[in-house]
Structure 1
Amino acid sequence: MSEQLLLQGQLLGIEEFLLSPSGFPDTDGEELLPGRSMWATLLCEVLPRGLLAELGLPRIMLGSSGGGQFLLVLPGTSRAAAEAVLERAAAEIATLGSSLRLIWSATENLGDWTVVRRRLNDELRRNRDAPLAAGAQGVFDAFEAAVPKPSPAFTAHLDANIRQASSVGWSPESPATILIGEGKHTWKLTPNLSLEGITLARHAAPSEEGSGPANLATLAARAQGARAWGVLRGDVDSFGIRLRRVASIEEHVQISVLYKQFLENELEVLCSLPDFWRRVTILYSGGDDFAVFGAWDALVALAREMQRLFSRFTEENLKEFPGAEGKTITMALALAPDSDASLSSVYRAAGEDLERAKTSNRDCCCLMGRTLEWKRVSDAADLKDTLLRMAAQFRSSRQFLFELRGLYGKPGSQKIWRFQRRISAILSGSRDREVQKMRARLVNEIIGRHKTEVNLRPAGLVALDWAWLASEI
């Protein structure tokens, strides 16, 4: 009986690849970002399945896949053949430029899982940190710079093709190429969990004609209030630590698949609801993160709903696991600064905001340029509704919001009576009891309940900017 082998693969440099300049002539790269993200998502689904099929091994030997990595169980006699396929895939991926790399590690499935995992990760780390260890001959020789050219691995229309395809294929001759509906081995694309198919979140808001995905201008026009679009990115907090704490390979696979299925299924279901299906397009859904773009107000609502569902998901499925790791999620929403902004630039801005939010805190959301805990996001939403109701009492609601917004340009140590006098001047002329109650609540929500000094809350500024966008015609 041959030994059992665990093989772990990882795709590095995905972020740089998504944002790298286009290799296609006459394109600005904007339409390539969705296609590249779909390609990167599918590659770590198709490649391990194709590898198993090529070796004549059953699907059950696929432990986990997607999210830029995969884990396989192989007989020891298949190691050389498996690495030959991966080497061809790595060579093809290297032609895409940027810093995209496929690396892998393999070890015998002997001993405790923590020991096996350490061996896998140590080899993976060596391959990542020392890419020339396998052979550096000729690396420093003089060479002529190659002219960038389109790769056969994907085309400018790959995004639309994948979103409309019923199946994808793979062939060992081009192991890094995603084939649409053809190839030596094929698999169905399904929105729900399937043992024989590949689950893929690929909803796209339809264009007005219904012939393809809506462009950025169309998504912005479908927003309520300001005609603006944005990118929402989310990432599970400390997911890697959660995986490192599992005690067996069965738990590792269970946790990996559980998170991946949740993100894919919930995103697909949410985006099919009436509030989102014409206004939001999915960029990708990974093992512990996701990205979508669309109308700005739809993205705010989507972020809050995803956080609510994720909180319920962890309460029901991770209650037996100690610690807070992997049980919270952080998101960031970046809005396009103008109508000429590219999808890649806003996607990059959302990533930078997400990184800052996760560095300073966790279980939070970067909204309107401010990082708030999720509870404060709900407070900002309630305050935004209060502001809009109060603005409706005045002939110039935009001027009312502008005056309130100006308070944040003043020093935060103003005496409370000065703040009260200014806001009373803004709201003067109304003796309606409901308006006066809303005014008192507004003051408390924006500055807190300090009796001597004003401490302007970030949630108040988020609510003001939110109301400003919502009231724009």
Structure 2
Amino acid sequence: MTEFDKFAEKAKGIHRLGILRMDVDNLGEIFVRGFDFLGSCDKQMGSLSRIATMSRQLNIFFSGYLNIIIQELNHKINDEKVQIIYSGGDDLFIIGSWDEIPELANIIQERFKEYCCHNPYFTLSAGISMVTGKYPIYHAAMLAGRDESRAKAIGEIFSDNQSPAQTDQTNQKNALCFMDTVIGWEDYKDVLKIKNLIEEIVNETNHRAIIEKLNTVVYSVNMFEKTKKSEKYSFDKIYELVCFQKWRWQLIYNLHRMSSKYSDDTIAQIKKLQSIILNLNNNTRLPVLSWLEMPVRWADFLTRKEGKTSDE
């Protein structure tokens, strides 16, 4: 068994290797246009010495401080489940047990914000792919790189009231792509909250019905995306019919039917889950329905038995 196989075997739920790639957003713009790119300045800020200093400081984070973050994580879980393949300059490439990778990515972007004194123009985008332990790492890195590019293209995804042209520069990237789904980092805690609730309900009921019900909603959303591309109907009409009507009543109906079969505590959790999903829709960068698949699949993979899953 190779070291990569061991990472996959240690994973909770399905046995998969997680591949993480992250890099700094808009760094090329900063180098080409100087620090004036970061906002209005009364004087020219983009001197060579300032650019060189910034480059050194970024390298310190990726080639030095990142090792401390990894050590802290492995110490916390009392096991070695993640490993740096490459880090330096302005990017990183990490492998490990898939279940540890999303939270690691979140920790890295949070620490990076602190390191940059919460400057809104210094952000990270990340892509996470999942493969078997025997999958060629070179190809897995390409998959993660593709997902990283999708995260950086978050500004192109339709939002309720904003188009990419209307969106602030700092909201164009600063995102994560995981489970083939893109979210802004500010919505990560909401995704985690939904995932944890789903996982708790599955474990308490010893049944996967909650995932099946939510997958029905996810399927409706995916059908909407396909119909939208058909151009047979106006975009606004389809969005109104599918996003704001069908998925809502379908969610309420499915969860209500399910809740009648379980204990009061489980019913309370199901109602809490329903409330969170419905109430979040107008308070996230992208509509909840555009990323609901992420927490559903995440909880699904965490609670599956390896023998019941197919290769991803």
8 A contact 2:218–2:292 mirrored in 1 = no
Deviation at residue 404 of structure 1 after TM alignment: 2.1
Query: What is the match of residue 139 of structure 2?
Result: 345
Unaligned residue ranges in structure 1 (runs of 5+): 1-206, 208-213, 319-323
Query: What is the match of residue 109 of structure 1?
Result: none
Distance 1:226 1:415 in 2: 29
Distance 2:78 2:180 in 1: 23
Query: What is the match of residue 31 of structure 1?
Result: none
Q: Do the aligned partners of residues 376 and 391 (structure 1) sit closer, same or farther apart at CA in structure 2, a change above 3 Å counting?
A: same
Deviation at residue 469 of structure 1 after TM alignment: 1.4
Alignment of 1:230-269 (within 5 A): 230-243=18-31, 244-245=34-35, 246-269=45-68
Distance 2:89 2:133 in 1: 32
Query: What is the match of residue 423 of structure 1?
Result: 255
SS at 2:148's partner residue?
helix
Q: Do the aligned partners of residues 311 and 257 (structure 1) sit closer, same or farther apart at CA in structure 2, a change above 3 Å counting?
A: same
Q: Do the aligned partners of residues 467 and 418 (structure 1) sit closer, same or farther apart at CA in structure 2, a change above 3 Å counting?
A: closer
Alignment of 1:303-322 (within 5 A): 303-315=105-117
Partner letter of residue 254 of structure 1? T
Deviation at residue 435 of structure 1 after TM alignment: 3.0
Distance 1:276 1:365 in 2: 26
Q: Do the aligned partners of residues 294 and 364 (structure 1) sit closer, same or farther apart at CA in structure 2, a change above 3 Å counting?
A: same
Distance 1:421 1:233 in 2: 39
Alignment of 1:420-459 (within 5 A): 420-432=252-264, 434-448=265-279, 457-459=289-291
Deviation at residue 406 of structure 1 after TM alignment: 2.6
Deviation at residue 385 of structure 1 after TM alignment: 0.9
Deviation at residue 253 of structure 1 after TM alignment: 1.7
SS at 1:306's partner residue?
helix
Query: What is the match of residue 329 of structure 1?
Result: 124
8 A contact 2:213–2:251 mirrored in 1 = no
Larger CA Rg, structure 1 vs 2: 1
Q: Do the aligned partners of residues 415 and 286 (structure 1) sit closer, same or farther apart at CA in structure 2, a change above 3 Å counting?
A: closer
Query: What is the match of residue 102 of structure 2?
Result: 300
8 A contact 1:390–1:438 mirrored in 2 = yes
Higher helix proportion (structure 1 or 2): 2
Alignment of 1:183-198 (within 5 A): none
Query: What is the match of residue 278 of structure 1?
Result: 80
SS at 2:51's partner residue?
helix
Deviation at residue 459 of structure 1 after TM alignment: 3.6
Distance 1:276 1:404 in 2: 34
The reply on whether 1:366 has 2:177 as its aligned counterpart is yes
Distance 2:198 2:114 in 1: 30
Q: Do the aligned partners of residues 283 and 386 (structure 1) sit closer, same or farther apart at CA in structure 2, a change above 3 Å counting?
A: same
Partner letter of residue 183 of structure 2? L
Deviation at residue 281 of structure 1 after TM alignment: 1.6
Query: What is the match of residue 296 of structure 2?
Result: 464
8 A contact 1:379–1:459 mirrored in 2 = no
TM-score under structure 2 normalisation? 0.72
8 A contact 2:198–2:210 mirrored in 1 = no
Distance 1:308 1:364 in 2: 12
Distance 1:335 1:304 in 2: 17
Deviation at residue 373 of structure 1 after TM alignment: 0.6
8 A contact 2:220–2:247 mirrored in 1 = no
Q: Do the aligned partners of residues 220 and 331 (structure 1) sit closer, same or farther apart at CA in structure 2, a change above 3 Å counting?
A: same
> Cα deviations across residues 265-315 of structure 1 (Å, max 9, x unaligned)?
222112223238611121111211111111101111210110110111111
Distance 1:470 1:314 in 2: 33
Aligned residue among 373, 378, 385 for 2:189: 378
Aligned residue among 63, 81, 93 for 1:291: 93
Deviation at residue 259 of structure 1 after TM alignment: 0.6
> Cα deviations across residues 418-460 of structure 1 (Å, max 9, x unaligned)?
432221112222351x43332222123334477xxxx752342
Distance 1:394 1:365 in 2: 31
Q: Do the aligned partners of residues 216 and 369 (structure 1) sit closer, same or farther apart at CA in structure 2, a change above 3 Å counting?
A: same
Distance 1:331 1:226 in 2: 22
Partner letter of residue 221 of structure 1? E
Query: What is the match of residue 226 of structure 1?
Result: 14
Distance 1:376 1:385 in 2: 14
**C-alpha RMSD over aligned residues:** 2.5
Higher strand proportion (structure 1 or 2): 1
Alignment of 1:153-168 (within 5 A): none
Distance 1:270 1:389 in 2: 28
